Amino acid sequence: MIYLKEAAQIALGAIRGSPLRSSLTLLGVAIGVAVVIAVATVLQGANSYVQEKLASLGSGVFSIQKASIAGVGDFEKYLEAMRKNPDLSEADYRAVLESASLAERVGAQDSANGQVVFGSQTLDGVSLQGVTPSMQYLSSVEIASGRYVSEFDDDNHRAAVVVGADVANALFGEAIDPVARDMKIDGRPYKVVGVAKPMGSVLGRSQDNFVLLPFRTFQKVYGDNRSITITLKAAGGATPAAVQDQARVALRARHHVGVGAPDDFAILTDEATEGFFGQILSIVSGIAIPITLISLVVGGIVVMNIMLVTVTERTREIGIRKSLGARRRDILAQFLCESTFLSAAGGAAGVLIGYGFTKALALVVPIPVGFPVVWSALALMLSAGVGLFFGTYPANTASRLDPIEALRSE
């Protein structure tokens, strides 16, 4: 092992002797490693983000919709279901409410877009959501001030609304408390009874640009010609599957679906949503990661090219070493150590660049961003392996030089 130690010392001396060339050589590897870490960071953050958003509703919560995309490649099936399946109505919601005895909560939601006005301030394209009072416990909306829409509001078709954080800030600003203020939605007067806590954004889209109306008020004003969403939460001790079965039986009976025929509605669970996004992330990972690894290969090719030039420039040095007794394995080890050290140093620099990228990314994106330790370690090992692999040919070339011919070299 003494010859390896000596080879490493000579290799390090050669690297220090050409700082500019060495820096430029390892830069290609550093960029490749940094790109791998950057892509892994984004994918890992996106996966954590999806899981975090799903967890915010709590376990046992699922929804029933007219149609949903169950997996990648099912878009055609989704469009067909949207054409064929009947709209879910308030009567469907009442049937599920009566039949789902194992559900802790059952809620309904309808939606449209509209214009909101307060004084001289106007907002267009605001999401208007008609919700039953039980949706307070089935959605991620939390009240910052005031209250949620109540059973009394819903039963009496009251013009009481809860506004999202973006709507409250845009219409009322910080100087005015929105609660108990009058505003207009599509020209009709309403009173603000509550303001929701900020929820941030999902994939760059704000989740706070909404107004909640009592479900019956909404349908009285905007009609019931749209399909609603029915949301349920399993009671303690009951499994979500059992609650889904109760809701499925109630809806199939109402829609007169025959035995053996598929459901004419879709049940969307956390697992299905997570699986769908998981499929997307897997496809993206399967494409992005190999492409980023190509940059490491390019860095390895740069290392090999530089090492070939180095062998040519140091032919006389190799001849002197061989004439003084250096064996072929000594020369081979020297140049392999040099290429490996260059790549490993590039990998380490890439990890530092990647770490800086994750810190900067955390300041500008809403997804959870963490340093991908496993991918960083893997990229570092790959960078050293790339140097060893692409340095083999130049090192072998150097070790095979004839000492007499090498000494004649200028």
Using one digit for the tens of pLDDT, what is the confidence trace for 93-146? 999 999 999 999 999 999 999 999 998 899 999 999 999 999 999 888 899 999
**Distance (Å, whole) CA 122 – CA 15:** 66
Question: What's the token pair of residue 176?
Answer: 């005015």
Distance CA 246, CA 267 (A): 12
Per-position pLDDT tens, the chain of length 410: 445 566 566 656 666 767 777 777 777 778 878 888 787 777 776 666 666 555 554 567 888 888 876 554 566 777 888 888 899 999 999 999 999 999 999 999 999 999 999 988 999 999 999 999 999 998 888 999 999 999 999 999 999 999 999 999 999 988 889 999 999 999 999 999 999 999 876 656 778 899 999 999 999 999 988 899 999 998 888 888 899 899 999 999 999 988 888 888 888 876 666 666 666 667 666 777 777 777 777 777 777 777 776 766 666 766 677 676 667 677 777 777 777 777 778 778 888 888 887 777 767 665 666 677 777 777 778 777 777 777 676 667 766 766 666 555 55
CB 29 within 8 A of CB 299: yes
Report the relative pairing of strands 160-163 and 61-65 from DSSP bridges. unpaired
* Structure tokens that stand for 235 in this block: 């009671």
The pTM of the full predicted model, rounded to 2 decimals, is: 0.63
Residue 243 to residue 233: CA distance in whole angstroms: 8
Tokens of 90: 């308030």
Q: Which residues of 358-373 are buried (b: 16+ CB within 10 A; e: fewer)?
A: beeeeeebebebebbe
Are the C-beta atoms of residues 289 and 372 closer than 8 Å to each other? Answer: no
* Dihedral, CA of residue 51, residue 52, residue 58 and residue 61, to nearest 10: -50
pLDDT in tens, 220-250: 999 988 899 999 998 888 888 899 899 999 9
User: What are the boundaries of each domain within the chain?
Assistant: 2-53+288-408, 86-264
Is 230:63 a contact under the CB 8 Å cutoff? yes
Three-class HEC string of 202-220? ECCEECCCEEEEEHHHHHH
pLDDT at residue 222, as a whole number? 93
Question: What is the token pair recorded at 37?
Answer: 């870490």
